[in-house]
Amino acid sequence: MTTNERNICVNYDYHYAEEFGGIAGMKRLVDEAHRLGIRMWQWCGMALHDRSKIWKEHPEYILHEANGDPWDAAYRFGCLGDFRTGFRDYMFDCMKTAREGAGIDGIFWDSYQNFGATGVNWKAPDKAPHTEEIWRFQAELQRLGYSHRCEVTTIFGVSNVQMYGFDDSENSHWNGLRRRTWSRSVENDEAFAWLDCGLGFFSADSFTRERLSPKYYFWLMGHRCVPWLDARPWGPTVNGKNMPGGAPKLPGGELAEQYARCNHIYNEMLPRMHRLRLVDGGKYALWLDKQNKPSVIWAFQETTADCDGTLTDVETKETGSGRKMRLKPEHVYVFGTDAVNRKYPIRIDAP
């Protein structure tokens, strides 16, 4: 692959490829996700590859840098479209089709700042930004039913972001890039800082015992932080054509069920996890309910809880007094005894 043939953070067009079932196939996937209570979000950007046919058909859509080059955010490929031109309507029609045809719930806007909102068309007579036009565009998409998240902190909230790399030599599939070192955040007990964020890792295989182990996956979820889980469900070929990703693969390999256990517990506990209370030493995370009463404890070390009330282990159903009961690492406890008759996931011990 030569430099000019690379592709990252940009598409050639915004439609669902027929090789993967087209928009009808995406609708089947979305319908099944909705049946399971999952909202489906579409990754998008506000730029297209510099070889996209749209630029050949409408070169006036391209937003230009001060030197006259297409705005490429220093990626050296891709073009940002000017939302004060017909590019805005083109993008809106694409997103409307995805909403009406496939039922997509939300859009994650990649590179929102550098490849989107801060763009200025220096070739235009007034050399003005198109930020307000982007905001109006997003508002109109909201009226269609879309939710938004952006790859920065915006009015739509704090976004999911690919953040961490690992210490080992195979830390990254992208030239060793890492914005922060994962081991340092673990050492500094920084999980509380990622409340309601979905972390990403610069690695082709993050979910291992040596990297983001089930222990630390549990630790993040106990702080209401759910990392990305990549899954490649397609096989090596479709209709005789080679497809990317190889054979079907779930994250975690032989540890997949341990990560799944954390997911099941988290989904059950989330309605109780309204306000986080940090504990000295980070031995556990205490969550209050909507009435500001103690509700859930996620234990990270063996310890006792510095609070009153009856605690119930959601898996073993063991109960005890809050100040006397020994909390076990990687166990979750609820206040009260109503959990005794609830069918929570069965604990899967590490081999």
Residues 6+ positions from 67 with CB-CB distance below 8 Å: none
Model pLDDT, residue 243: 55
- Superfamily for the 3-157 domain: Aldolase class I (3.20.20.70)
Domains 3-157 and 271-341 share a fold: no
Model pLDDT, residue 137: 97
pLDDT over 90 at 240, yes or no: no
Full-model pTM:
0.72
* Domain 271-341 annotated CATH 2.60.40: yes
Residues 250-289 pLDDT 10s = 778 889 899 999 999 999 999 999 999 988 889 999 999 9
Residues 177-192 pLDDT 10s = 666 788 888 999 989 8
Q: Are 33 and 39 in contact (CB under 8 A)?
A: yes
- End-to-end distance of the chain based on CA atoms, in angstroms? 42
Helix (H) or strand (E) holding 334: strand 331-335
Residues 286-300 pLDDT 10s = 999 999 999 999 999
Model pLDDT, residue 199: 82
Residues 6+ positions from 349 with CB-CB distance below 8 Å: none
Model pLDDT, residue 75: 77
DSSP string, 221-273: HTTT-------B---SEETTEE-TT-S-B-TTGGGHHHHHHHHHHHHHHGGG-
The whole-chain average pLDDT of the chain stands at 84
What percent of the chain lies above the pLDDT cut of 70?
Answer: 82
Sequence spans of domains, the chain: 3-157, 271-341
pLDDT over 60 at 340, yes or no: no
